[in-house]
Amino acid sequence: MLMGHYSSALVAKRIAPSLSLPLLFVSSQLIDFFWGILVLFGIEKLHVIPGFNPSNPLDLYFMPYTHSLPAAIIWSGGAAVLYYLFAKTPVHRVRNALLIGAVVGSHWILDFIVHLPDLPLWYDSFKVGLGLWNFRYIALALELLLVWGAIIACRKIAGENHWRYVLMAIVMSAVQISTLIMPPPLTGTSVVLQLLAAYMALTILGHWASKPRQTE
Ligand SMILES: [Zn+2]
């Protein structure tokens, strides 16, 4: 999954409006951020095979440290503990830490829906994935539905920034659709660099969209 991951961040923002949206955005893609870094260091691996599945060319054959179920649980618990220890305000500290952990963990669950069986249940074995990527337009519809559903859910908390949220959803939709239209990257490194750049740009966009107007 790509842009659909941001829906869990937006739902958490709706539950706890005081949580920073860019922090929630990073949390929703935390597992992919570290996946990208580990791929760049040659620790986790993928092959780029054009036509590998109808949605993308990614053969994600080795990613036990980020996308296995135990790893996802550890990333999620670790993020919750870090938030709890370093939260600036003590208000709702436990609830917010649990929400951050849930957003990090939601990454695995959403990946499970779309990935082919490449998500290990233990280290590098017992791989699972429901394989919605095999149905490119259904997978695309799910991503867009998650993004727009979450934006609509955030209507009230977005307040006068509502149109910024809508613009953000338009950008997310364009990024998602571009993965089906644009020629696929040729190497694992270029896939990772493009994704990391997109995640960073969207984090900045999240900051802009959620910034109180009066401070500008
Ligand atoms: Zn992922």
Report the predicted TM-score, pTM, of the whole model to 2 decimal places.
Answer: 0.95
How far, in Å, is the centroid of ligand 1 from the Cα of 216? 34
pLDDT tens per residue across span 53-67: 999 999 999 999 999
CA distance 25 to 207: 9
- CA triple 114-82-124, angle to 5 deg: 40
Report in angstroms the alpha-carbon separations of 74 from 64, 84, 121: 12, 15, 13
What was the pLDDT predicted at 132? 98
Q: What percent of the chain has pLDDT over 90?
A: 92
Backbone angles phi, psi at 47, to 5 degrees: -110, 145
What was the pLDDT predicted at 72? 98
Burial class of residue 106 (count of CB atoms within 10 Å of its CB; 0-12, 13-18, 19+): buried
Q: Which of 70-74, 139-143, 212-216 has the lowest mean pLDDT?
A: 212-216
| All residues with CB under 5 Å from ion ligand 1 | 32, 111
How far, in Å, is the centroid of ligand 1 from the Cα of 53? 16
Q: Report residue 100 as tokens.
A: 């951050």
**Is the pLDDT at 186 greater than 90, yes or no?**
no
- Per-residue pLDDT band for 214 (boundaries 50, 70, 90) equals low
Residue 214, CB-side half-sphere exposure with 13 Å CA sphere: 1
How far, in Å, is the centroid of ligand 1 from the Cα of 108? 7
What was the pLDDT predicted at 88? 84
How far, in Å, is the centroid of ligand 1 from the Cα of 119? 9
How far, in Å, is the centroid of ligand 1 from the Cα of 159? 31
Backbone angles phi, psi at 49, to 5 degrees: -125, 105
CA distance 102 to 77: 9
What does DSSP assign to residue 64? T
CA distance 19 to 146: 20
